[in-house]
Chains A and B, each alone.
Chain A
Amino acid sequence: GENVEQHPSTLSVQEGDSAVIKCTYSDSASNYFPWYKQELGKGPQLIIDIRSNVGEKKDQRIAVTLNKTAKHFSLHITETQPEDSAVYFCAASRGGGFKTIFGAGTRLFVKA
């Protein structure tokens, strides 16, 4: 079946450094790629997304890039802060009644 691979599973950075999380998807028909942040004891929250007709999108300290040819997309967080510590999930979707496929998650630790 379709799947999304996410790396790394754990990432530890110093406050102020950048963090990069990478995902690869298998379904070439996927056209929507959201990223979710899940803090302890809470449900996942959408933080940024990108559609297949766009190569890059930025929102303040967060950016996402998409390489459709390689079926690869990444989340970039710059100037990390302790409150960025959470689990991040990538996902891929194609709509039309097909279910969204989530990556396994990356636990990000930002050390003050």
Chain B
Amino acid sequence: SAVISQKPSRDICQRGTSLTIQCQVDSQVTMMFWYRQQPGQSLTLIATANQGSEATYESGFVIDKFPISRPNLTFSTLTVSNLSPEDSSIYLCSVEDRDWTEIGGYTFGSGTRLTVV
């Protein structure tokens, strides 16, 4: 399965600022997924990032707040903009482990724990 390097692992940010999270994958992947995990909660998909096209956002998430870049098949960034305390969460990137015929499970990065003060 793929290996993902995600950074930063944690950050404390001031209100109104932005945080950019980076994910590097050790193999080329078509889609990368960005999730939010609020304290003690499950995983909520923010968006799917395809290389060479705009990310596809889930209901409740907008590009202005969560801009995503996907410059190549091994790298993606998620920016959380105009931070408020409600943005305090763990943010995770992931890729799907699959061959050409069957869907597979996800490999996740180690997560970025964001605290907004």
Which of B14-22, B62-70, B75-83, B107-115 sits within the interface?
B107-115
Cβ–Cβ < 8 Å partners of A42 in chain B:
110-111
Chain B interface, number of residues (Cβ within 8 angstroms): 23
The yes or no answer to B53 lying at the interface (CB within 8 A) is no
Could you say which interface size class chain A belongs to? 20 to 34
B103 touches A93 (CB 8 A): yes
Chain B proximity of A66: nearest CB distance (Å): 15
Q: Which of B4, B42, B58, B108 neighbours the largest number of chain A CB atoms within 10 Å of its CB?
A: B42
Which of A12-20, A54-62, A68-76, A94-102 sits within the interface?
A94-102
Per-residue interface assignment for chain B, residues 92 to 108, with 1 indicating a CB less than 8 Å from any chain A CB and 0 otherwise? 10100100001111111
Cβ–Cβ < 8 Å partners of B102 in chain A:
32, 51, 95
Q: Which of A42, A43, A49, A95 neighbours the largest number of chain B CB atoms within 10 Å of its CB?
A: A43
The yes or no answer to A89 lying at the interface (CB within 8 A) is yes
User: Which residue on B lies nearest to A31, using beta carbons?
Assistant: B103
A104 touches B108 (CB 8 A): no
Chain B proximity of A36: nearest CB distance (Å): 8
Cβ–Cβ < 8 Å partners of B48 in chain A:
99
Residues of A participating in the B interface, judged by any CB pair closer than 8 Å: 31-32, 34, 36, 41-46, 49, 51, 89, 93-95, 99-100, 102-105
Besides A41-B111, A42-B111, 4 more A-B contacts (Cβ < 8 Å) are A32-B102, A43-B94, A94-B103, A95-B102
